[in-house]
């Protein structure tokens, strides 16, 4: 028996082994069929982990897309994640179709179910590997510096035709290309002839990028500050500039980097004196080191001193070229026979100088009265504007004609005021208008809003007559260096003009020493060489001063710019003792620790600017004596020490604009010391209030601030930033005049508005919320789910024209249908970095009574900008009512789940035979565009020409 059992046992072992071998894969296959739903849920969990990791990567990449870029490894990982996302989406579709085929939990196609689950398990393994790869990548470097461009394009007018500038450009290109013996080239000619325009054309020429490994552009200007030149070169070479480093050490750093280059071109624009290249760190150009140099200068003498190999003079315009430029500037009014004859003579007075033609043409633009033209020609022929032997002075004579044609004396003063800023300085228009208003150059009886309107009109007028120039940033302007020289000449005691002219009109003068190294000794010595008493306005911006005179007698002084002098850390106690007439004091970007008590003597001060003074802790109690102060701007955007405002601020009852940033809690730990109770209501004329607080606030203080802000009946602009904040609640409906608002780091629009029901049982009778608000920015508000979730009283937000929403990570929708009827004037909508946003408009609510579906929502919306919204699935699910019928531009970036642009909105109208659109531009990636799903293919074909890829 035992033998038989042994025999059977021995025979059975292979059978068991075979059974076990068969069971393992069979069990796996059964598991695939049985655990499909479980594995699919596991897949979804792993995918979410992967997407979160991708969001983190993209967030870091998008912090600085100009100078930083992802590594090749990072780009490959992101591509794999994108491919995986497409596979997961396809898998999800297949899974749902499989479930629909199942009856009572049973699937008729067992093989399909097994195959699908196997794919899911394999996909989970791939995702786990991708996550591990992402973890490994995070532990190292996955963002690197963007490779520097060989040429950085510079905005410049298009040069066409056979013009002097184009001829000069071609000469220079031939020298660079064909003659290795000409390493240093000089472009010279009088101010305003087009030297810088020529240099820009060289920089932007496609031929240059193919000839040189790198092009380095530096604007030198009259001051010739070698540290500024070194800083520009260092930044172009992607090196770190150290303010504390010596000139020699920085030169060595530049030299070492340039020595590793094979061929490069250095462009030094607006050189006034000889500059030693070795002092900068630039090797002397030679065929051996591959360096070539081009300079522009007003003087052939500078070319000689720089040992230029080829000096090329920029010629003036021919008569025909001058006439064409003048006609373009003045307009076709010169085509009139009577005016053309006089205009021809006016052009001849300009002697072919482009700047003079542009400026004088601007003064005569669209003037149709023949008598005005006759008078202009008579003035240009007078001794006041006569052409003299010194061509540089004759330029000023001609340009002054445009200044004399300015409509009103206050506009002339506004123009001259711009010369207080350094050469080539981009002046912020808002800041400039604030200074004009505080000075009284704009009617002081105007409100701040009205002053902005008047100021913008003046800026636009000065741009129209070519006395100011626009720049890349539309909110900045600058002066041409020749125009600035003209303004400084007009305000100088050493006038070039007739002795019968009062210089300037009110008899006072300017002292402007910006970027001026020599002033260090003048102001540091005990025997002050600068007589402050004769000047009306003084600007010492960027002068590296570290000491000020003890007690200057400055009874005439109205303006004092000490801005951007980091070496200035203290102000003498008696410094302001004799400045009773001072109207504007700008100490921004200095390292001062405190204001002296003599600040109390500034009884006529209208504007005090203390921005970016990191060591300033508070203001002296004497600040309360400045009873005429209308603008007080103080604080540091980043790290700083400013703690609190003194209670004497309540005495500044004429204050119209208060901007303050608190960087630290007061030493005593009491937050109330930042803004003492009762200060804000006493400033009842405030129109602009900006409060930024870099710390958590107590609910009690928040409530106090909210109540006090709600009492400001004249407030038109409000910005509040804090790390955490409770709702401002009912105080919003008190700010009926508010036009501009920025809220940040707080939960103001949290949907909890019990105040509406408490004031009335029906929301229809509640006060409108922010009925005059035109511009709203909401950022860094993590807990809000929508801009407004409660019923909206009629008239609320009815004038809102621009809405910007940033970094609201838990917002899932922006608008509900209930609020849409209020936003009839919205023109611009910008939404970015709201990572859980799923829909712009949620119109699932029941249709409101009385609404006509033929009436479009967002009837004036023209611009829609959507960026970095990874969960956005639709803009609005609009198939039953139209939206945005006038939309002109849409930009979509980093919105991978936005798959459709509904044709019944977005400016697209369709009828039985054709469709039309108001859209003029669509911006987005090729991947996003190709993934879009269209209800009608012809719509995509119609919109394709409007696409501009990013």
Please identify which residue in the block is written with the tokens 């105080």: 731
Taking 70 as the threshold, does the pLDDT of residue 13 lie above it?
A: no
Instruction: Find the helix or strand (DSSP H, E) in which 664 lies.
Output: none
Q: What CATH number should be reported for the domain holding residue 875?
A: 3.80.10
* Range of weakest confidence among 31-45, 478-492, 827-841, 928-942: 31-45
Helix-helix angle 481-490:409-417, to 10 degrees: 120
Q: Tokens 């936005």 map to which residue?
A: 898
Whole-number Å distance between alpha carbons of 901 and 899: 7
Q: 502, 523, 547 — which closes off a domain? A: 502
For the chain, first and last CA: distance in Å?
86
Q: Is residue 357 part of a domain?
A: yes
Q: Are residues 168 and 262 in the same domain?
A: yes
681: in domain: no
Q: Is 799 left (phi over 0), alpha (psi -120 to 50) or beta?
A: alpha
Tokens for 230, please give them: 């070194």
CA distances from 728 to 707, 710, 783 (A): 8, 9, 15
If 0-12 CB within 10 Å is exposed, 13-18 middle and 19+ buried, where does residue 746 land? buried
Q: Are 40 and 21 found together in one domain?
A: no
Per the domain annotation, does 557 fall within a domain?
no
Residue 64 CA, chain-centre distance (Å), reads 13
pLDDT at 3: 44
Reduced to 3 states, what is the DSSP secondary structure of residue 108?
coil
Instruction: Give the tens place of pLDDT for each residue, 717-743.
Output: 888 876 554 445 556 667 778 888 888
Rounded-to-integer distance, Cα 176 and Cα 203, Å: 12
172 inside domain:
yes
At residue 852, the pLDDT reads 52
- Range among 98-112, 308-322, 694-708 with highest mean pLDDT value: 308-322
pLDDT tens, 295-315? Answer: 888 778 888 888 888 888 888
Can you name the residues that pair with 339 across neighbouring β-strands? none
Strand 476-478 and strand 427-428: pairing? antiparallel
Same domain, 259 and 216: yes
**d(Cα 841, Cα 688) in Å, to the nearest integer?**
32
Secondary-structure percent of the chain, ordered helix, strand, coil, rounded to 5: 40, 15, 45
Q: Count how many Cα atoms sit within 13 Å of the Cα of residue 493 in the half-sphere of its side chain.
A: 8
Q: How far apart are CA 848 and CA 818, in angstroms?
A: 8
**Domain enclosing residue 829, as ranges:** 766-950
The dihedrals phi and psi of 742, each to the nearest 5 degrees, come to -125, 125
Instruction: Please determine, for residue 535, whether its predicted confidence score (pLDDT) is greater than 50.
Output: yes
- Domain membership of residue 923 (yes or no) is yes
Say how many C-beta atoms besides its own lie within 10 A of residue 89's C-beta.
13
Q: What is the pLDDT of residues 744-753, one digit of tens each?
A: 765 444 444 3
3-state secondary structure (DSSP) of residue 271: coil
Instruction: Please check whether residues 39 and 25 belong to one and the same domain.
Output: no
| Res 259 pLDDT > 60 | yes
Q: How many angstroms separate the CA atoms of 543 and 664, rounded?
A: 30
Helix (H, G, I), strand (E, B) or coil at 302: helix
| Span of 233-242, 880-889, 911-920 with lowest mean pLDDT | 911-920
- Which DSSP string do the residues of 25-86 spell out, in sequence order? HHHHHHHHHHTHHHHHHHHHHHHHHHHHHHHHHHHHHHT-TTTEEE-HHHHHHHHHHHHHHH
Residue 685 has a pLDDT of: 92
Please, what is the average pLDDT of the chain?
78
Same domain, yes or no: 8 and 50: no
**Three-state secondary structure along 508-550?**
CEEEECCCCCCHHHHHHCCCCCCCHHHEEEEECCCCCCCCCCC
pLDDT above 90 for 924: no
Backbone angles phi, psi at 798, to 5 degrees: -70, -20
Domain containing 253 — which CATH number?
A: 3.40.50.300
Q: In the predicted model, is pLDDT for residue 66 greater than 70?
A: no
Partners of residue 633 on adjacent β-strands:
609, 659
Distance CA 214, CA 67 (A): 16
Residue 602, pLDDT > 90, answer yes
The residue out of 339, 356, 389 marking a domain boundary is 389
Q: Which of the residue ranges 17-31, 313-327, 382-396, 832-846 would you say has the lowest mean pLDDT? A: 17-31
Pairing of strands 915-917, 908-910: antiparallel
- Contact status, residue 551 vs residue 574, Cβ threshold 8 Å: yes
Give CA–CA dist 287/291, Å, rounded: 7
- pLDDT in the model for residue 753: 36
3-state SS, residue 632: strand
Helix, strand counts (H, E) of the chain: 27, 32
User: Domain for residue 611, yes or no?
Assistant: no
pLDDT at 211: 85
What would you report as the CA-atom Rg of the chain, rounded to the nearest whole angstrom? Answer: 35
Q: What would the 3-class secondary structure string for 396-449 be?
A: HHHHHHHHHCCCCHHHHHHHHHHHHCCCCCCEEHHHHHHHHHHHCCCCCCCCHH
Could you tell me which of 522, 632, 510, 612 has the C-alpha nearest to residue 563?
612
Under 8 Å between Cβ of 303 and 295: yes
- Say if residues 434 and 631 touch (Cβ distance below 8 Å): yes
Q: For residues 90 and 114, is the Cβ–Cβ distance under 8 A?
A: no
Exposure of 264 in the CB half-sphere (CA atoms within 13 A): 24
497: domain CATH number? 1.10.10.10
Confidence of residue 807 (pLDDT cuts 50, 70, 90): confident
Residues 297 and 341 in one domain: no
CA angle at residue 455 from 401 to 466, to 5 degrees?
30
481-490 and 354-363 helices cross at what angle (nearest 10)? 70
My answer on whether 799 and 839 are in the same domain is yes
Q: Are the CB atoms for 235 and 241 separated by under 8 Å?
A: yes
Total count of domains within the chain = 6
Structure confidence at residue 502 as a pLDDT band (50, 70, 90): very low
The predicted pLDDT at position 907 comes to 53
Q: At 5, which helix (H) or strand (E)?
A: helix 2-34
Q: Which of 27, 22, 47, 20 is nearest to 114 (CA)?
A: 27
Interatomic CA distance for residues 540 and 508, integer angstroms: 17
What pLDDT sits at residue 232?
Answer: 87
Per DSSP, what are the bridge partners of residue 743? 720, 778
Q: In angstroms, what CA-CA distances link 148 with 152, 216, 259, 625? A: 9, 11, 17, 54
* Strand intervals (E) in 835-925: 839-842, 863-867, 874-876, 889-893, 908-910, 915-917, 921-924
Within 544-597, strands assigned E span 559-561, 584-586
pLDDT at 765: 42
| Neighbour tally for 203: CB within 10 Å | 21
Is residue 12 included in any domain, yes or no?
yes
| Per-residue model confidence (pLDDT) at position 667 | 59
Which residues contact residue 781 at a Cβ distance below 8 angstroms, ignoring those fewer than 6 apart?
Answer: 743, 744, 745, 746, 747, 748, 749, 807, 808, 811
Token pair for residue 537? 């306005």
Choice between 190 and 581, residue whose per-residue pLDDT is larger: 581
Helices (H), 739-847: 754-759, 817-820
Neighbours of 647 (CB within 10 A): 15
Report the pLDDT value the prediction gives residue 436, as an integer from 0 to 100: 94
Q: In what order do the strands lie in the sheet with 874-876?
A: 813-816, 839-842, 874-876
Q: Quote the CA–CA distance of 829 and 864 in Å, as a whole number.
A: 5
More confident residue, 440 or 352: 440
What pTM did the predictor assign? 0.64
382 and 309 co-located in one domain: no
Query: Which helix (H) or strand (E) is 403 found in, with range?
Result: helix 391-404
Percentage of the residues of the chain whose pLDDT score is greater than 70: 77
Flag whether pLDDT at 546 surpasses 80. yes
Pairwise CA distance, residues 696 & 671, whole Å: 9
Could you tell me the two tokens for 105?
Answer: 């939990």
Find out whether 709 and 715 touch, Cβ atoms under 8 Å. Answer: yes
* Residue 690 predicted with pLDDT over 60: yes
Q: Are residues 24 and 110 in the same domain?
A: no
Whether 299 and 356 map to the same domain: the answer is no
CA–CA–CA angle 61, 66, 67 (5° rounding)? 85
Average pLDDT over residues 230-253: 85
**Which has more confidence, 853 or 335?**
335
CA atoms of 182 and 177, how far apart (whole Å): 10
Residues 109 and 223 grouped into a single domain: no
pLDDT of amino acid 501: 36
Lowest mean pLDDT among 139-143, 344-348, 497-501: 497-501
Residue 470 has pLDDT above 50, yes or no: yes
290, 313, 336 - which closes a domain: 313
**Residue in 842, 717, 867, 710 with CA at minimum distance from that of residue 788:** 842
User: Cα–Cα distance between 723 and 783 in angstroms, integer?
Assistant: 12
User: What number is the average pLDDT over the span 416-434?
Assistant: 91
d(CA 414, CA 432) in angstroms, rounded, equals 9
Say if 353 falls within a structural domain.
yes
Quote the CA–CA distance of 637 and 839 in Å, as a whole number: 33
Percentage of the chain beyond pLDDT 90 is 12
pLDDT at 733: 64
Q: Are residues 379 and 411 in the same domain?
A: no
Structure-token match 């504390």, residue found: 244
Both structure tokens of 517: 């190294």
Task: Give the confidence band of 846 by pLDDT, cuts at 50, 70, 90.
Answer: very low
């Amino acid at each position: 028996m035992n033998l038989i059992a042994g025999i059977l046992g021995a025979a059975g072992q292979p059978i068991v082994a075979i059974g076990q071998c068969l069971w393992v894969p069979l069990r796996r296959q059964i598991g695939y069929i049985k655990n499909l739903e479980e594995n699919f849920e596991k897949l979804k969990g792993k995918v979410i982990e992967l997407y979160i990791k991708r969001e983190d990567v993209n967030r870091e990449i998008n912090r600085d897309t100009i100078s930083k870029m992802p590594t090749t490894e990072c780009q490959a990982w992101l591509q794999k994640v994108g491919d995986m996302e497409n596979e997961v989406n396809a898998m999800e579709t297949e899974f749902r179709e499989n479930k629909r085929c199942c009856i009572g939990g049973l699937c008729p196609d067992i093989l399909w179910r097994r195959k699908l689950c196997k794919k899911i398990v394999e996909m989970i393994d791939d995702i786990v590997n991708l996550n591990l790869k992402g973890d490994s990548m995070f532990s190292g470097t996955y963002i690197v510096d963007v490779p520097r461009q060989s040429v950085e394009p510079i905005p410049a007018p298009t040069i066409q035709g056979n013009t002097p500038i184009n001829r000069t450009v071609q000469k220079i290109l031939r020298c660079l290309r064909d003659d290795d013996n000409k390493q240093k080239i000089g472009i010279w000619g009088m101010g305003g002839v087009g030297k810088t325009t020529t240099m820009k054309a060289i920089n932007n020429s496609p031929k240059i990028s193919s000839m040189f490994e790198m092009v380095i552009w530096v604007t030198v200007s009259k001051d010739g500050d070698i540290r500024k030149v070194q800083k520009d070169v260092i930044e172009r070479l992607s090196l770190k500039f150290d303010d504390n480093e010596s000139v020699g050490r920085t030169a060595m750093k530049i030299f070492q980097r340039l020595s590793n280059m094979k061929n490069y071109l250095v462009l030094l624009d607006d050189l006034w004196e000889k500059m030693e290249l070795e002092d900068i760190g630039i090797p002397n150009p030679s065929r051996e080191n591959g360096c070539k140099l081009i300079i522009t200068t007003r003087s052939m003498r500078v070319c000689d001193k720089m040992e230029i190999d080829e000096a090329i003079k920029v010629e003036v315009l021919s008569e025909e070229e001058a006439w064409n430029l003048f006609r373009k500037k003045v307009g076709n009014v010169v085509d009139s026979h009577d005016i053309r004859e006089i205009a021809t003579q006016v052009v001849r007075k300009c002697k072919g100088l482009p700047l003079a033609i542009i400026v004088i043409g601007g003064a005569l633009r669209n003037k149709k009265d023949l008598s005005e033209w006759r008078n202009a020609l008579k003035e240009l022929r007078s001794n006041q504007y006569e052409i003299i032997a010194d061509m540089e002075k004759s330029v000023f004579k001609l340009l002054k004609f445009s200044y004399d044609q300015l409509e009103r004396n206050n506009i002339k003063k506004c123009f001259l005021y711009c010369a207080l800023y350094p050469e080539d300085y981009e002046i912020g228009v808002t800041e400039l208008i604030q200074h004009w208003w505080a000075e009284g150059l704009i009617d002081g009886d105007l409100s701040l809003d009205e002053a902005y309107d008047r100021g913008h009109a003046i800026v636009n007028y000065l741009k129209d007559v070519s006395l100011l120039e626009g720049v890349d940033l539309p909110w900045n302007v600058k002066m041409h260096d020749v125009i600035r020289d003209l303004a400084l000449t007009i305000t100088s005691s050493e006038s070039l003009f007739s002795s019968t002219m009062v210089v300037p009109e009110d008899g006072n003068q300017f002292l402007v020493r910006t970027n001026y190294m020599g002033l260090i000794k003048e102001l540091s010595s005990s025997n002050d060489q600068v007589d402050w008493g004769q000047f009306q306005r003084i600007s010492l911006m960027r002068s590296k001063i570290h000491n000020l005179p003890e007690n200057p007698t400055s009874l005439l002084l109205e303006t004092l710019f000490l801005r951007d002098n980091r070496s200035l850390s203290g102000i003498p106690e008696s410094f302001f003792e004799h400045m009773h007439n001072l109207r504007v004091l700008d100490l921004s970007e200095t390292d001062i620790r405190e204001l002296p008590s003599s600040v109390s003597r500034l009884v006529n001060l209208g504007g005090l600017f203390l921005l970016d003074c990191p060591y300033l802790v508070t203001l002296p109690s004497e600040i309360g004596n400045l009873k005429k102060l209308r603008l007080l701007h103080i604080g540091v955007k980043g790290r700083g020490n400013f703690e609190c405002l003194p209670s004497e601020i309540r005495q500044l009852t004429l204050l119209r604009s208060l901007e303050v940033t608190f960087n630290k809690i007061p030493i005593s730990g009491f937050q109330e010391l930042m803004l003492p109770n009762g200060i804000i209501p006493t400033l009842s004329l405030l129109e602009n209030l900006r409060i930024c607080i870099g710390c958590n606030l107590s609910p009690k203080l928040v409530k106090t601030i909210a109540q006090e802000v709600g009492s400001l009946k004249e407030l038109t602009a409000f910005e509040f930033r804090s790390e955490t904040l409770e709702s401002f609640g009912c105080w919003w409906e008190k700010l009926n005049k508010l036009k501009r608002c920025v809220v940040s780091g707080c939960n103001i629009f949290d949907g909890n508005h019990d105040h509406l029901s408490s004031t009335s049982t029906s929301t229809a009778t509640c006060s409108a919320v922010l009925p005059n608000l035109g511009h709203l920015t909401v950022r860094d508000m993590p807990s809000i789910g929508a801009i407004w979730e409660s019923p909206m009283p009629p008239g609320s937000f009815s004038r809102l024209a621009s809405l910007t929403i940033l970094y609201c990570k838990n917002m899932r929708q922006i608008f509900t249908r209930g609020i849409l009827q209020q936003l009839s004037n919205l023109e611009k909508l910008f939404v970015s970095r709201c990572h859980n946003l799923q829909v712009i408009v949620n119109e699932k609510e029941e249709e409101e009574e009385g609404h006509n579906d033929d009436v479009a929502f967002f009837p004036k919306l023209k611009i829609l900008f959507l960026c970095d919204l990874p969960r956005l699935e639709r803009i609005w699910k609009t198939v039953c009512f139209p939206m945005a019928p006038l939309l002109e531009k849409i930009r979509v970036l980093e919105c991978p789940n936005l798959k459709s642009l509904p044709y019944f909105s977005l400016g697209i109208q369709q009828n039985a035979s054709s469709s039309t659109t108001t859209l003029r531009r669509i911006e987005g990636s090729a991947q996003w565009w190709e993934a879009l799903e269209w209800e009608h293919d012809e719509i995509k074909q119609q919109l394709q020409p409007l696409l501009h890829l990013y």
